[in-house]
Amino acid sequence: MNFSAAIPTFVITLREGVEAALVVGIVLACLKKAGQKGLNSWVYAGVGVGIIVSAIVGILFSLAIPIISAANPKYTTVVEPLLEGGFSVIAIAMLSWMLVWMTRQARFMKAQVEGTISAALQDKNAGWGVFTLILIAVVREGFETVLFIAANFQQGLFPAFGAIAGVITAAAIGVMLFQWGVKINIRLFFKTMGVLLLLIVAGLVVAALGHFDVAFATLSQMDRSSQGLCFYYERFTKNPSCILGARVWNTSKILPDDQFPGIVFNALFGYTENLFIVQAIAYVVFLLTIGGIYFQSLGGKVSKKIENSPQLPLKTRPD
């Protein structure tokens, strides 16, 4: 049983869930300060509906993949890895964007949420404004996890279990921060989770290329007219890569990726016992580009402003 498949979704959902929990906590604090605690039910409704909508989207994705594959049974073995690779690319783009964007916008989160709530309270339909804000925050975070699970749908229900555990843990952290007044270094938390997320997404880059390689290799073997798709078709038996070039390493006898601890490294860091040159280059390029942007957003003036500011939980938890 591959429980390690739950680790990446747990990390992603935990990080995104804590972001949503911070928004919820700030909104509840703002409503209490404004004497509008009667609108708290709209906040909880937004959380509940957001989780339901995310779950429905996840179910639709999980149903769509087999349906699309079954539309042409002959090419099922080609369509499935293509869909996995496609979902992986979308998940990589969204998770990378959110990682960098949220890091840059974190210092403005409290002010932005408070401004939105203040504007909503001026409207006669304030409840719907609060509900919409929370709904968007929850669905935005949930959608990223859904895409990640869809990109790894062959791993069964374990990624979903990781997502559920992440949501529960994020909710617990939110309660500790805003209800119990527990002091947590939220900046250190996001930095640590950000590094883990960066490595997970880098691993997804390797996996996505692997999915496309399987799809093209299968198609070339099924249809001889498609043999030209494989750069290494003539040497396929010796070098099992269609579009990924030469093999960098084969560590199947030393550290197999389907046994502990290789299976954990695979889940967290994208380790694979068979790594090819295109995957290795893409992995390094991703870490240098997205990783460089991410760490740059943590340093310099932005970092100093954050470090010199009061801790977010102390500013936002109810009195």
Which residues lie below 8 Å from residue 290, measured CB to CB, with a gap of 6+? 96, 99, 100, 198, 201, 202
| Tens-place pLDDT, residues 237-253 | 466 788 888 888 888 88
pLDDT in tens, 104-158: 666 666 677 777 788 878 777 788 888 988 888 888 878 877 877 777 666 667 7
Of the candidates 173, 195, 192, the residue with the CA atom closest to the CA atom of residue 20: 173
Taking the model in full, what pTM does it have?
A: 0.75
Amino acid (1-letter code) at residue 38: G
Side-chain-side CA neighbours of 221 within 13 Å: the count stands at: 15
What's the token pair of residue 157? 């229900």
Q: How many CB atoms lie within 10 A of CB 188?
A: 9
Backbone angles phi, psi at 257, to 5 degrees: -85, 5
Note the helical H segments in 106-240: 109-121, 126-151, 158-178, 186-222
75 sits in which H/E element: none
